[in-house]
């Protein structure tokens, strides 16, 4: 099942998969798993477009991991 981004006026948004709501917090383990999925699978892991902030975070993580 792909990830879905849900815009939220209070917190800026969250990522949903199955019954799990993942906050946009770099310290969150599930958020890091989302970034890993974006790195490995690209847009195929997302329902709709990947938000620019998430793509940028995944790109930064990939660059850090390749150093």
**pTM of this structure:** 0.88
Q: Provide the pLDDT for residue 26.
A: 93
The candidate with the shortest Cα–Cα distance to 21, out of 34, 37, 36, 39, is: 34
Neighbours of 38 (CB within 10 A): 22
Q: Provide the pLDDT for residue 44.
A: 95
Q: How large is the average pLDDT for residues 38-64? A: 94
**8 Å CB contact between 6 and 20:** no
Give percent of the chain above pLDDT 90. 78
Q: Provide the pLDDT for residue 10.
A: 75
Neighbours of 46 (CB within 10 A): 21
> Could you tell me the residue ranges of all domains in the chain?
4-66
Q: Provide the pLDDT for residue 12.
A: 79
Taking the C-alpha atoms of residue 54 and residue 26, their distance in angstroms, rounded to an integer, is: 10
């Amino acid at each position: 099942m792909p990830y879905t981004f849900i815009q939220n006026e209070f917190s800026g948004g969250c990522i949903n998969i199955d019954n799990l709501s993942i906050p946009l917090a770099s310290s969150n383990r599930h958020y890091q798993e989302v970034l890993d999925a974006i790195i490995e699978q690209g847009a195929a892991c997302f329902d709709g477009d990947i938000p620019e902030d998430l793509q940028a975070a995944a790109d930064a993580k990939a660059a850090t991991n390749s150093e």
